[in-house]
Amino acid sequence: MVQDLNKFLENTRDVDKGNEKFELETDHLLQVNLDGMVWIKHGAMVAYTGDIKFEREKVLEHGLGKALKKAFTGEGAMLTKARGNGRLYLAEAGKNISAFDLAGGAITVNGNDLLAFDETVKWDVKMMKKLAALASGGLFNVTLQGDGMVAITTHHDPVTLKVTPEVPVYTDPNATVAWSADLQPNFKTDVSFRTFIGRSSGESYQMEFRGNGFVIIQPYEEVYYAGQQ
């Protein structure tokens, strides 16, 4: 339905939904009510109001150990500090955004799907070495724990699968977004299917989760190639 300009502006105006630090303005746009500092994915800022400064993560920002890990895993782990007071708006390629409070818990997120997190959250970068040898370009992930807000992105709506010792979960690596931090995924290779298909895929390579926890997946295979970013 066609609408006049004033009606369009009214229907799309920014609405203050409360006092939460992370608020979903839409399914695809995150509003951060900033009063201090937050880590964001490099390039995720689309707008802001107030007095906010951005500082790209330094090579030795978190010590030599993390610097070496990040150098090994690639540019996709690059973060930016947003510091100041105001409203910060984040998005990435129109992807869906989910925001939640860790509340003392822990989660491991595919590095490419991590949009933002509080400065109070402790984090570390890890490399999926076995997957790197199998999939195009490899895969790194970020383990987040403690207290504070976290925002992740997915293609379309995410789905959470429960993992139990009796019922393990197998996922396509390219559709796997996040999982319980205490789960250590293994990798299965279906050589015969891989040979038949002639390329890597979720059918030929799978992540295997066993134990107690959860896995978050998206209805989309997100393939990244070395050097893409």
Q: What is the rounded distance in angstroms from the CA atom of residue 159 to the CA atom of residue 78?
A: 26
CATH number (domain holding residue 191): 3.60.160.10
Task: Dig out the tokens for 64 from the structure.
Answer: 């030599």
Among all chains, which residue has been given the structure tokens 């895993």? 73
CA–CA distances in Å: residue 109 to residues 77, 126, 160, 212: 11, 10, 13, 17
Number of domains comprising the chain = 1
- 40: in domain: yes
> In 10 A of CB 57, how many CB atoms?
17
14 domain-assigned: no
Q: With a cut of 70, which residues of the chain have pLDDT below it?
A: 1, 18, 57-77, 129-139, 190-203, 224-229
Q: Is residue 225 included in any domain, yes or no?
A: no
Return all residues near 119 (Cβ < 8 A) that are at least 6 apart: 36, 37, 38, 39, 148
43-78 pLDDT, tens per residue?
999 999 999 999 976 554 554 445 444 443 444 457
Long-range pairs of 123-132 with CB within 8 A, sequence gap ≥ 24: 123/39, 124/66, 125/66, 125/69, 125/70, 125/73, 125/77, 126/69, 127/69, 127/72, 127/73, 128/173, 128/185, 130/187, 131/173, 131/187, 131/205, 131/207
Would 224 be classed as within a structural domain? no
- Distance in angstroms (rounded) separating the CA atoms of residues 59 and 62: 8
What's the CA gap between 88 and 37, in Å, rounded? 11
170 neighbors 207 (Cβ within 8 angstroms):
yes
Name the token pair of 162: 């429960």
For residue 7, being part of any structural domain is answered with no
Residue 4 belongs to some domain of the structure: no
What lies within 8 Å, CB to CB, of 107 at 6+ separation is: 143, 144, 145, 150, 178, 179, 180, 181
- Cα angle 220, 222, 223 (rounded to 5 degrees) comes to 145
For residue 97, the enclosing domain spans 19-217
> Has residue 10 been placed in a domain?
no
Are 142 and 113 a contacting pair, CB within 8 Å? no
Identify the H or E element spanning 54. Answer: strand 45-56
0.85 cut: is pTM over it? no
**What pLDDT does 69 receive?**
47
- 1 within domain boundaries: no
